[in-house]
Amino acid sequence: MRKYRMAAAVAALTVLCAAGASALTGEEIIRKMESNLVYNTSKIEGSMTIDDQFGKKKSSFVAYSEGDTKMLLEFTSVEERGQKVLRIGNDLYLFYPDASEVIRLSGSALRDSLLGSDFSYEDMTGDKSFLEDYTVTLDGTEAVEGHPCYRITLTAKSLSVPYPKEVVWVDTQLFVYRKVEKFALSGRLLKEMVLTDYISRSGRNIPTGVVMRDVLKKGSSTTFRIDKIDIGIKLPANLFSLEELTW
Amino acid sequence: MVKQPHALAAALVMVVSGSMHLAAESRTSVDLSSVLGVTRISGEAVASALTTGKLDISAASNPNVRGELQLRATIGNAAAGSGAAVTVPRAYLKVRLPWFRFMIGKSRVSFGRGFFFDAGDVIFGGAGLAVTDLSASVLRDDTTWLLETYLPLGNFSYLEGVLLPYLGAGGVFGSPASTSLATDLTQVLTPVNWRNLSGGGRAVFRLAGVDMEAGYLFSGTSGVHLPYLAAAGSLGVDWYLAASATVPVSEADWPNLGERLAFSAGLFHLFRLSGDASIAGRIEGLVLPGGSWERASGGITPSTLPAVVVSGGTAAWPSASTVTSTFTSRYGLYLFPELDYSPSQALSLQLRSIVSPIDASATLIAGTGWNVYQGLTLSGYLYAMLGADDATFGWNQPGGIGAAVGAELIF
């Protein structure tokens, strides 16, 4: 689910690919989604808003990407302003402006929460399919708010993932998720993620709005929104480097 | 407690209001924090209050030019030990040219690797024990006036040089940061003998998947050469280490160099629990081979590197034995354990300690932070020093035990 969730948080990139969908296995559906998360280049401005009984807390960011292995994310909201995350391949670096310090994330630190969200730094690393962490079962098809979807159950192979079980409804036409349910080890439903908005651009269907609700906390939700996205733009040659990270 | 931050913010805004309207594309942020604490001083329980306001203005109008001005005002009573002061932690310009970039002004360059202990931080010191706020998210953020040049050599490699005209003592034990604007002004208005200039550089590169760093600093203030090495990687857990030597200019004294070495190492591991909960553990150690490995009767009073004596324009560098004494005046081993548990997106529980195993003492802080509203974090801490009267962290030292509550607002 890692790339899947990262798409909601930052990239929200999927490709319309409906032909031949009915013959797909669960793994093939997941791989199609993963393979559709790649652009040549992109620039995204977005935000994450946590809404609970105390009100809304919003964090905003701008992210640049090149292929599926390079990304530079800079937080623009005032509380985290200047903090940056650089990903090149499987290497992830953080920059904290107060300490003027670069920290390389590896191993367990990759599992740390990004901005206190459900998304981890590991979600940003490339090459590793979430199929490595989950076994996939295609349960059949169900409609979500009138949209035909594949219902897929993901069962974790180890306890190294935040949710031992997740159920995903993937649109059979758009190959974007319509709904995700996340379960505890006991089988109790913890969180529900729903696609609220998407745009079609350059033949791709791009989720631009996702709401994650904490089932255990009444009135608590996290909304991810892409405010602006540019695809296929020219990026500076040295954008994905330690030099840019510390600039 | 409510009016104080607003008054402070108003004062800070007034200071810079003349320049704000000129920089239409600048970005401004304000960080206000207030702490109310109770501690023990001279056997009496006393209350103390400390309010800090930080105004940060950064220019972002040109992709190749950046600037930042940061003002910090602190108001505290005597028990908090601060009084009232205005400082300029950062005031710099950064310029990027086609082949390199440079920065001039007051800022920070972080040499070495480490969160609390960092033997490779030969500029600001990563082996000191004097931390004013062990609850802070960033424990080492000292700045100084500098000229920095940065030459990128690929995605992961670069060369960096620094010239530091007003560096304090420098070295692995560092020196107290400037505590007032007057001190800053005195520094920049006082001519510096060229022999007292400090400078150096580092090469950062990757070797076999390990981030490597090799650097050197000459401290003109203390009259010492400071070469260092640092590395970081992952073997199941994240690890990092650093080592440095302090070599007096006046007398290298190579046979006894071992007494002036410093080593630091750290391990970090994070467990992502169910949902958005996580728990992280860190342990760092500082080893000073030349330090005392037996409990010293009467205790140990750490001192910083001796400053060079300047008389009639002639600098007198300290002797090797004098420099060595700065190491022998410390114990040979210190530890920094940390445990951080975050049960949810908005709540964290933290336990930190500095441990001096040789004299069986430690300072301990346990606290919690709660991000309630946008930009607002409430916190509460209990802290204590656990050790004999003459230990590094003696229980009866001023401020040796206490509690504090606080609030921080960033907008």
Higher pLDDT among residues B362 and B62, named by residue: B362
Cβ-based contacts of A161 with chain B (< 8 Å): 272
Higher pLDDT among residues B146 and A111, named by residue: B146
- Spatial distance between the Cα atoms of A124 and B234, rounded to a whole number of angstroms: 18
* Confidence at B192, pLDDT banded by 50, 70, 90: confident
Averaged confidence pLDDT in chain A: 79
Q: A81 — contact with chain B (CB < 8 Å)?
A: yes
CA proximity to A205, closest of A9, A4, A14: A14
pLDDT at A1 over 50: no
- Spatial distance between the Cα atoms of A97 and A168, rounded to a whole number of angstroms: 38
* Confidence at B301, pLDDT banded by 50, 70, 90: low
Q: A96 — contact with chain B (CB < 8 Å)?
A: yes
CA proximity to B151, closest of B115, B187, B118, B103: B103
Give the mean model confidence (pLDDT) for residues A132-160.
90
Q: Which residue has the tokens 């295609």?
A: A138
Among A37-51, B304-318, B327-341, the range with the most confident prediction by mean pLDDT is B327-341
B147 in any annotated domain: yes
**A38-71, pLDDT tens digit by residue?**
678 888 899 988 888 788 889 999 999 888 778 8
Q: A160 — contact with chain B (CB < 8 Å)?
A: yes
Averaged confidence pLDDT in chain B: 84
Total domain count, chain B = 1
* Confidence at A10, pLDDT banded by 50, 70, 90: very low
Cβ-based contacts of B270 with chain A (< 8 Å): 108-109, 111-112
pLDDT at B32 over 70: yes
Structure tokens at A213: 């609700």
Question: 6-25 in A: which are within 8 Å (CB) of B?
Answer: none
Least Cα separation, residue A162 to chain B (angstroms): 5
- We report the CATH number of the domain holding residue B225 as 2.40.160.10
pLDDT at A7 over 70: no
Q: Is the dihedral of CA A72, A77, A79, A82 positive or negative?
A: positive
The pTM assigned to this predicted structure is 0.83
| Residues linked to residue A148 through DSSP beta bridges, in sequence order | A143
pLDDT at B80 over 60: no
Among A204-213, B202-211, B260-269, the range scoring the smallest mean pLDDT is A204-213
Looking at residue B109, its pLDDT comes to 94
* Confidence at A150, pLDDT banded by 50, 70, 90: very high
Among A5-9, B7-11, B110-114, the range with the most confident prediction by mean pLDDT is B110-114
* Choices 3.30.56.10, 3.40.720.10, 2.50.20.10, 1.10.10.10: CATH for A26-246: 2.50.20.10
Question: 351-380 in B: which are within 8 Å (CB) of A?
Answer: 371-375
B288 in any annotated domain: yes
B1 in any annotated domain: no
**A84-122, pLDDT tens digit by residue?**
989 887 778 889 988 888 888 776 666 666 655 556 665
* Confidence at B405, pLDDT banded by 50, 70, 90: very high
B33 in any annotated domain: yes
Domain that holds residue B339: 6-410
